[in-house]
Amino acid sequence: MDFLRPASWEEALAAKAEHPTAVPIAGGTDVMVEINFDHRRPEYLLDLNRIGDLYEWEVGEESVRLGASVPYTKIMESLRAELPGLALASHTVASPQIRNRGGVGGNLGTASPAGDAHPALLAAGAEVEVESAARGTRLIPIDEFYTGVKRNALRPDELIRAVHVKKADGPQQYSKVGTRNAMVIAVCAFGLALHPETRTVRTGIGSAAPTPVRAKAAEEFLNAALEEGGFWDNGKIITPSVAKQFAGLCSAACNPIDDVRGTASYRRHAVGVMARRTLTWTWESYRGNHRTTEGAA
């Protein structure tokens, strides 16, 4: 094994171009587990810790450009207003020690269906900024990023530089099912974001399909129902039958498996419950109550 230690982003891209099989390591919270347990023996480890740019973020007009290595702890502390869904999701990641090291770049690179950040990114709307020495930068829409179980749209010579997440224009919520409040991989997870500016609702489902997915049919149904009933203007309570149908469509968007953490039917059921709850919480917040940043794990 070789340990590559680029001092700059350009050096990192050059190293990845020269050694496309190199495994990038930032927080190490996924990669080191695989090495410690002998599940993986990469020929090259590509350390990204020395690249300071990856630890920075910029709040722009429309979106936040979040460096790939910004630790979850920083997202919780500093970006709660701009990215409330992602901040809530970050708070459910493992433990303080892990949140101090891990970041969204690693979650995207690993592309596990259970990654905690994914439902929040899908719900908020995001683009992944990747770069290669040969072809420069490209932005991959988050909906096209996840291509299979632990597979993503990255090419072998590309590295994840940042993720551009749309700034919240309305309430966002995140919910996760696990056996305790810390140190759990999600049995399933759900993110929901209201976008009053476009009068749309977006969702993200984690750990209930081969990849993180949006419940698009549920979104379309809800968008139409909210528009038809004038809900965005009159701020009325969402009709229980609408919430119920939304929840059912979210369950139907799942394609889960039975595994040690839970059965497929439990996951479908739980996603429906989380969909209804997060819709209620965000809508209550939209109507003027104060529940924007209260989360539930």
Partner 1 sequence: MRVNFTVNGRPQEADDVWEGESLLYVLRERLGLPGSKNACEQGECGSCTVRLDGVPVCSCLVAAGQVEGRDVVTVEGLAEYAKQRAEGGCASGACGTTLQDAQLGVPPGEAWGRQAKGTDSQTGEGGELSTVQQAFIDAGAVQCGFCTPGLLVASDELLERNPNPSDADIREALSGNLCRCTGYEKIMDAVRLAAARQSEEV
Tell me whether residue 47 or residue 169 sits nearer to partner 1 (CB atom): 47
Q: How far is the CB of 48 from partner 1 (least distance, A)?
A: 9
Tell me whether residue 76 or residue 254 sits nearer to partner 1 (CB atom): 76
Q: How far is the CB of 70 from partner 1 (least distance, A)?
A: 13
Q: How far is the CB of 183 from partner 1 (least distance, A)?
A: 6
Tell me whether residue 134 or residue 182 sits nearer to partner 1 (CB atom): 182
Q: Encoding tokens for residue 49? A: 């810790």
Residue pair 119/212 in contact (Cβ under 8 Å)? The answer is yes
Q: How far is the CB of 199 from partner 1 (least distance, A)?
A: 37
Q: How far is the CB of 7 from partner 1 (least distance, A)?
A: 11
| Burial group, residue 208, by CB count within 10 angstroms (0-12, 13-18, 19+) | buried
Tell me whether residue 48 or residue 225 sits nearer to partner 1 (CB atom): 48
Q: How far is the CB of 265 from partner 1 (least distance, A)?
A: 28
Q: How far is the CB of 247 from partner 1 (least distance, A)?
A: 30
Nearest to 182 by CA among 99, 80, 76, 87: 99
Tell me whether residue 7 or residue 139 sits nearer to partner 1 (CB atom): 7
Residue pair 190/174 in contact (Cβ under 8 Å)? The answer is yes
Tell me whether residue 3 or residue 241 sits nearer to partner 1 (CB atom): 3
Binding site for partner 1 (CB under 8 A): 1-3, 5, 25, 27-29, 31-33, 35-37, 41, 45, 47, 49, 94-98, 100-101, 181-183
Tell me whether residue 102 or residue 171 sits nearer to partner 1 (CB atom): 102
